Chain A
Amino acid sequence: MKKWLRVDMSALEVRQEQPAEKYAGKGGRWLTSQFINEEVDPGCHPLGENNKLIFAPGFVTGTSAPSSGRISAGGKSPLTGGIKESNAGTPFAQSLARLGYQALILEGLPADKEQRYVLRVNSEGGELISAPELKGLGMYDTITRLREQYGDVDICGTGPAGEMKMAMAGICYNDPEYRASRYSGRGGLGATMGSKGVKAIVIERDGPGVEMADSDLFKIGQRKLAEALRNHDVTKPGGALNSFGTAVLINILNQAGGLPFRNFRSGVFDEAEAIAGETIADEVKKRGGEGMMGHSCSPGCVIRCSNVWPRKDGTEHVSCIEYESDWSLGANLDIDDLDAIAEMIYICNDLGLDTIEAGVTLGVAMEGGLAEFGDSEKAIDLLREVGRGTPLGRIIGNGAGLTGKALGVTRVPVVKNQGMPAYEPRSVKGIGVTYITSTMGADHTAGYTIAPEILSVGGESDPLDPQGKVELSRDFQATTAFVDSSGYCLFITFALLDSESGFEGMLETVNGVLGTSYTGDDVLDIGKKILKMERKFNEAAGLTRADDRIPEFMRREKLPPHDRVFEITDDELDQLWDF
């Protein structure tokens, strides 16, 4: 039987419990979003005693299914004021699942706001340990110290930004080599964790494993899925993701005129090649030493899209330079220096910041005159300011929306106060629909229409054509809600969209673990159910149609090179929810 671990920070009590029947067979985003609907008052303050932070591995996380080391963190978002599910790939997810936990919940608020705690978890339960020595410590040192103290454990934690309750704070997890580098970045849940005084969670490895209803079926599915991943050109060993990392997208989005440049003033960055995945791979090879491509975020990944960036002398600088961070801290700021980008990612990893929100915020800060576009030294200074907790650091640490207000900037690329990722909605209409209508705020992963619009994966759809994009986004959002619940990395869908057998295999692994008989239709139905749940919470939290809107400047300013605005009307956007 799966169990929950519930931690009451008001009473400083930890207890194991049997989940209610209604949660049977749930995992990942399905579980976190249902739990938040059932247990969190939508009117609560995201940093107050009534918000809850829930961690849930997916259905197949912790098994030998390929690329399935994912965890969902959920709560009411300090950034958007709505529901949040923020997903990460890390060994922490696998260890939690193997110990038999379906969910881990932090609730309440400690009386002493200055105290810090470590939650230690094993299969018997957990204990809270006072840890004043970790207060204000960066995530790199936090992980090092916890490893020294607790040995062979997996770790998640919140950095100084989360302790200062900044809305840009993510939740950090270790990678397989214990780097502070994997993140439930988006939506500020690191601040919720910080508000509860929980600096870190350490989990014993080598739990008994995940129970399976039908291990034969699971194995059949696992083989089909692994084969699909090994045969698809983007997911296979030596394929695009493995060879060049996710930043292989820099050039193609630039060619499509959809790579946001200088705080969304253009869709083209003339220096794009200098920061592209191809250049990253070339430099890693040339510099030698500790750098590598084809790094995996969690054991058992076939795709291995992560990397380790070396300094010029070959010593390790940071993991990883992935597309979103490369863009947000690079192209978006008119910065073409990979070493500067690496340094900013390092700072974000250490302070516990979402790299997307950090880059979008720096773009707005540059727009507001705090630095010139292209000034990487000043950009690095502004990020360090966040760690110092000065009034300016706290403004930046609370994201693009607040920074825009503080500086009187009107070109602020946010939806529901969350910064837009690395695709320009005026050049790629479907992803714009996803940004605007997602329950999560501007989030590309919520409905990745880039697959057909730019990559010709899962069909082809003209990125500049507004027709049919509401339906396209809806289908992607529903499917994604299921994938986010499964424990699989969203990137398996690149192979599944082009391989029937791979899709079948994915379902068989899920059915093998859960004892269900889900079909393709169920994927969409379950996904839609999850979306409705999240929408219900947002409505009760006070979010309305007026929050499903694109920033005004994207309706008025024509974006080069296509000189287009975002044309899909508000009425059409509202139809996304007609199901």
Chain B
Amino acid sequence: MAQIKVNLFANLRRFNPGGPEAGEFPLEVEEGSTLSDLFRELGVPKEEVKIVFVNNLRRQKDYVLQEGDRVGIFPPVAGG
């Protein structure tokens, strides 16, 4: 198992197990789990995910999660 920390943002906050305002939460995932597996586990529809950062780097859905990773998951956002 790998211990990671996860945060969901904007309209995806509704999938936070602690509620939309709970912020970052710890999670244990199976060794070898990918970001896609994580979305499934959290019940986040993959088509709603636009951008994922892991440890401040943008990662694709096939990224394999590592012990200690901090994951930030975003729907489409923009601003200026």
User: Closest chain A residue to B56 by CB distance?
Assistant: A257
Which of B13, B21, B57, B74 contacts A252 (CB under 8 A)? B74
Residues of A within 8 A of B72 (CB): 251-252, 255
Q: Is B53 an interface residue, CB under 8 A from the partner?
A: yes
Shortest beta-carbon distance from B63 to chain A in Å: 14
- Is B23 touching A562 in the complex (CB atoms < 8 A)? no
| Interface members, chain B 7-51 (any A CB < 8 Å) | 7, 9-11, 13, 20-21, 23, 50-51
- Is A245 touching B78 in the complex (CB atoms < 8 A)? no
Number of A-B contacts (CB under 8 A): 95
Which of A276, A448, A462 contacts B80 (CB under 8 A)? A448
Q: Is A491 an interface residue, CB under 8 A from the partner?
A: yes
Residues of B within 8 A of A267 (CB): 56
> A240-B75, A273-B23, A561-B56 are contacts. A491–B80 as well, Cβ < 8 Å?
yes
Shortest beta-carbon distance from B29 to chain A in Å: 19
Shortest beta-carbon distance from A114 to chain B in Å: 39
- Is B79 touching A246 in the complex (CB atoms < 8 A)? yes
Size class of the B contact interface (CB-based, 8 Å): 20 to 34
- Is B56 touching A444 in the complex (CB atoms < 8 A)? no
Which of B20, B76, B79 contacts A249 (CB under 8 A)? B79
Shortest beta-carbon distance from B72 to chain A in Å: 4
Residues of A within 8 A of B80 (CB): 246, 249, 323-324, 444-445, 448, 490-491
- Is A240 touching B77 in the complex (CB atoms < 8 A)? yes
In the assembled complex, the Cα of A235 lies from the Cα of B23 at a distance in Å of: 25
Shortest beta-carbon distance from A326 to chain B in Å: 10
Overall SS of chain A's interface: loop
- Is A255 touching B56 in the complex (CB atoms < 8 A)? yes
- Is B77 touching A248 in the complex (CB atoms < 8 A)? yes
User: Closest chain A residue to B53 by CB distance?
Assistant: A255
Which of B7, B51, B55 contacts A456 (CB under 8 A)? B51
- Is B9 touching A247 in the complex (CB atoms < 8 A)? no
Residues of B within 8 A of A249 (CB): 77-80
Shortest beta-carbon distance from A230 to chain B in Å: 14
Which of A240, A248, A256 contacts B53 (CB under 8 A)? A256
User: Closest chain A residue to B80 by CB distance?
Assistant: A246
Residues of A within 8 A of B20 (CB): 282
In the assembled complex, the Cα of A457 lies from the Cα of B50 at a distance in Å of: 10
Shortest beta-carbon distance from A48 to chain B in Å: 33
Residues of B within 8 A of A451 (CB): 78
- Is B77 touching A234 in the complex (CB atoms < 8 A)? yes
Residues of B within 8 A of A252 (CB): 9, 51, 53, 72, 74, 77
- Is A251 touching B78 in the complex (CB atoms < 8 A)? no
In the assembled complex, the Cα of A189 lies from the Cα of B76 at a distance in Å of: 35
Most buried by A among B57, B75, B77: B77
Residues of B within 8 A of A241 (CB): 78-79
Q: Is A35 an interface residue, CB under 8 A from the partner?
A: no
Most buried by A among B10, B13, B21: B10
User: Closest chain A residue to B76 by CB distance?
Assistant: A233
Residues of A within 8 A of B79 (CB): 240-241, 245-249, 277, 305, 322-323
User: Closest chain B residue to A560 by CB distance?
Assistant: B56
Q: Is A99 an interface residue, CB under 8 A from the partner?
A: no
Interface string of A543-579 (1 = CB under 8 A from B): 0000000000000000001100000000000000000
Shortest beta-carbon distance from B37 to chain A in Å: 20
User: Closest chain B residue to A460 by CB distance?
Assistant: B58
Shortest beta-carbon distance from A479 to chain B in Å: 14
| Interface members, chain A 453-495 (any B CB < 8 Å) | 454-457, 462-464, 490-491, 494
In the assembled complex, the Cα of A444 lies from the Cα of B58 at a distance in Å of: 21
User: Closest chain A residue to B52 by CB distance?
Assistant: A255
Shortest beta-carbon distance from B45 to chain A in Å: 13
Residues of B within 8 A of A248 (CB): 9-10, 77-79
Residues of A within 8 A of B76 (CB): 232-234, 239-240, 455-457
- Is B58 touching A256 in the complex (CB atoms < 8 A)? yes
User: Closest chain B residue to A257 by CB distance?
Assistant: B56
Residues of B within 8 A of A278 (CB): 9-10, 13
- Is B56 touching A234 in the complex (CB atoms < 8 A)? no
User: Closest chain A residue to B73 by CB distance?
Assistant: A255
- Is A282 touching B56 in the complex (CB atoms < 8 A)? no
In the assembled complex, the Cα of A469 lies from the Cα of B46 at a distance in Å of: 30
In the assembled complex, the Cα of A276 lies from the Cα of B9 at a distance in Å of: 10
In the assembled complex, the Cα of A232 lies from the Cα of B78 at a distance in Å of: 11
| Interface members, chain A 218-262 (any B CB < 8 Å) | 232-235, 239-241, 243-249, 251-252, 255-257
Residues of A within 8 A of B (CB): 232-235, 239-241, 243-249, 251-252, 255-257, 267-268, 273, 276-278, 282, 305, 322-324, 444-445, 448, 451, 454-457, 462-464, 490-491, 494, 561-562
14 other contacts beyond A240-B75, A456-B76, with CB at 8 A cut-off? Answer: A233-B75, A234-B78, A240-B11, A240-B76, A246-B80, A248-B78, A249-B78, A251-B7, A257-B56, A277-B79, A305-B79, A322-B79, A454-B51, A464-B57
Nearest 5 CB-CB pairings of A with B: A246-B79, A233-B76, A249-B79, A255-B53, A234-B78
What are 17 A-B contacts with C-beta separation under 8 Å? Answer: A233-B75, A240-B76, A240-B79, A248-B77, A248-B78, A249-B77, A252-B53, A255-B56, A273-B23, A277-B10, A278-B10, A282-B20, A445-B80, A455-B50, A455-B76, A462-B58, A561-B55
